[in-house]
Amino acid sequence: MTGLTEQLETSGMLLINGLHVFDFVLDAGELRIECMDGRELKRWRFTAEQLAAARFDDAQQSWEISNDTGSYQLVCLSGFSASDEDDEQE
């Protein structure tokens, strides 16, 4: 099992406490997340130390991570994106 930071580097989307997140940044070991929950903008920030302390829950297939505001369930999802370029084969 790889660590949370390694999984975040290859993830295209996250779930945090069940909310779908497309807007997240992993920079200098720090994770910053933003998402809209209805009309409310929610933000989370996790330090490198908090990422390193995250524990994988085999039963839930998610990461348990905590910061100063609470504990969260984080799921890393991989995906693919469509190319903006026209297919030259057409």
pLDDT by residue, tens only, the chain of 90 residues: 579 999 999 999 999 999 999 999 999 889 999 999 999 999 999 999 999 999 999 999 999 999 999 999 999 998 655 555 555 554
Pick left, alpha or beta for residue 50 (phi over 0 → left; psi -120 to 50 → alpha; otherwise beta).
alpha
User: Quick one: pLDDT at residue 15?
Assistant: 96
User: Quick one: pLDDT at residue 84?
Assistant: 55
Distance between CA atoms of residues 32 and 25, nearest Å: 5
CB count within 10 Å of CB 75 equals 18
Question: What does the chain come to in residues?
Answer: 90
Query: 83 lies in a domain?
Result: no
Query: 38 lies in a domain?
Result: yes
Q: Give the count of domains, the chain.
A: 1
User: Quick one: pLDDT at residue 29?
Assistant: 87
Task: For residue 52, give its domain range.
Answer: 4-77
Supply the pTM of this predicted model.
Answer: 0.81
Query: 88 lies in a domain?
Result: no
